[in-house]
Structure formats: C-alpha cells, structure tokens
Amino acid sequence: MHEDSFRLGNGAHILLIDDQPEELRSLRALLQAEGFRVSLASDPRQGLQRALALYPDLILLDVRMPQVDGFALCRLLREAPGGRQAPIIFLTSAASIDERLTGLQLGSVDYVLKSCVPEEILARIRIHLQLVWREQLQAPLPPPQPVDPDEMILHAAMRLIARHLDRPPPLTELARQVGTYDKRLSGVFRRRLGMTVFAWIREERLRKSQELLRDSSMSIQDIAELVGFSSAGNFATAFRERLGMTPSEFRERVWESRTDC
C-alpha cells in the first residue's frame, strides 16, 4: 500500500476490539469518513479469530474486557505467525500507569485513553501505519502461515513464565493471562511438551541456571534466587538430581574447558 494511502486512509484495514463498541461510535465514524475499512469485534475471542482471519493493518484493542482481557489477547496475538502480526494500539479507559506500562511492555505500539478526542487517535493511527509501510518496504512480510491456537497459547505461556521465572503466576492466573483456563493450558503442555506446566517451569529454571553459571560470575545463591529456588541448598539438590553434579562443579568444568581451549 502506498504511503499516501496510509496518510489518507484509502482502504487501510482497522480492527476494533471492544466489548462496548457504542463508546467508540464517533471514532468509528471518523475512521470510515477518512477512508479506512473498519471491522468490529465485541469480545476477545471474536477479536482473536478476526485478527487471524482478516489480516488487519492495525488493531485498536480495549484492555478491560470480561473473561479474556486485552493484555491476554495481546500476548496471544504476539505469538501469531509473522505474516499475521499487526501493530496494536491499546485504546482504553484504564489510566493506571502500571496498566499503561504493561501494555507497552507487551509489545503494543501505543496506549491511548478513550477520553482522547477521535482526531488525536486518528493521528496516532496514521503515524503507526506509516511506520509499518516503511518497514514493509525494507522487509516485505513472509506469506501467511497456518495458525495453531494451541501453539499460540503454549508460546505465550512459556514467554510469560520466562519473564517471571523467580515467581511465576499460579496455574489458574497463568492460564487467565494467556486467554484460556487451567485445564486447557495443562493439556496443551502435556500434548506438546510431554510434561506438566510445573515440570516445565522446573526444567526452565535448571536451563536458565546453566546459562547463568556459564556466562556470568553471579554467586550460586543469587542464581538460585533469580531462577526461583527457595534456597541455594534446594537449588543444588535439584541441579545434582538433573545433571549429576552440583552447580559449583558444573561451573568449574565449564571454566576448565575454556582454559583448555
């Protein structure tokens, strides 16, 4: 699409996901008057389906929605195959600084309050569409790939756990944050990885600890705390059971092998 098309609208496709779409009537009318195509989803699950099927150029996403909130939906959308990812602008009445930071940390390109006048939101949409156009000129998107909902849930959960490895959310909360429920999330881990969520967390903690032992000079105690073990002793026991040596022995072998090289 030509840059002027993004500037003027002219067919650029906006997906609006909000459980109270009547609040956005004036914005929707303005977008359509400016030449944008606007699709509407009134609940998160419908929004996910339409985002994956319609290939929108940009998504306007509410945060506070029932069952699956905007943050969970954003996590899932970020795991979609590359050709199906679109820039996300959170458009919400949630003014909390923590929520705004969470939205940006999840990979959204902007966070706009619903109290903003529609013209300001329109200006932000144009800016981000122009950025997308320039990026696509430099690196065209690959062809769309098939979507596997279980894979999206799995990778969203794995990414979330990795960010909070020292204190991952309880299973029910973890499932909620990736837009599903605990039994389904447990089933996805068993089918795809052959282990429970808790077993994978343990494996990830041990994998991360090996990385830190190899590539940092952090103390054993600090590494244990960072990856979520209650004490250096518990960490050493789990590490020895899994790898047949203590963390200190593992580090010594790594350093010896580097010296020999």
> pLDDT tens digit string along 3-26?
444 444 567 999 999 998 888 899
Tell me what the pLDDT averaged over the chain comes to: 88
- Domain range list for the chain: 3-138, 149-260
Q: Which of 84-98, 146-160, 198-212 has the lowest mean pLDDT?
A: 84-98
- CATH class of the structural domain 149-260: mainly alpha
Both tokens assigned to 91: 């458009």
Q: For 102-160, what is each residue's pLDDT tens digit?
A: 888 887 889 888 888 999 999 999 999 988 888 777 766 666 677 899 999 999 999 99
Q: Which of 247, 92, 76, 81 is nearest to 178 (CA)?
A: 76
Number of H helices, E strands in the chain: 13, 5
Class of domain 3-138: alpha beta
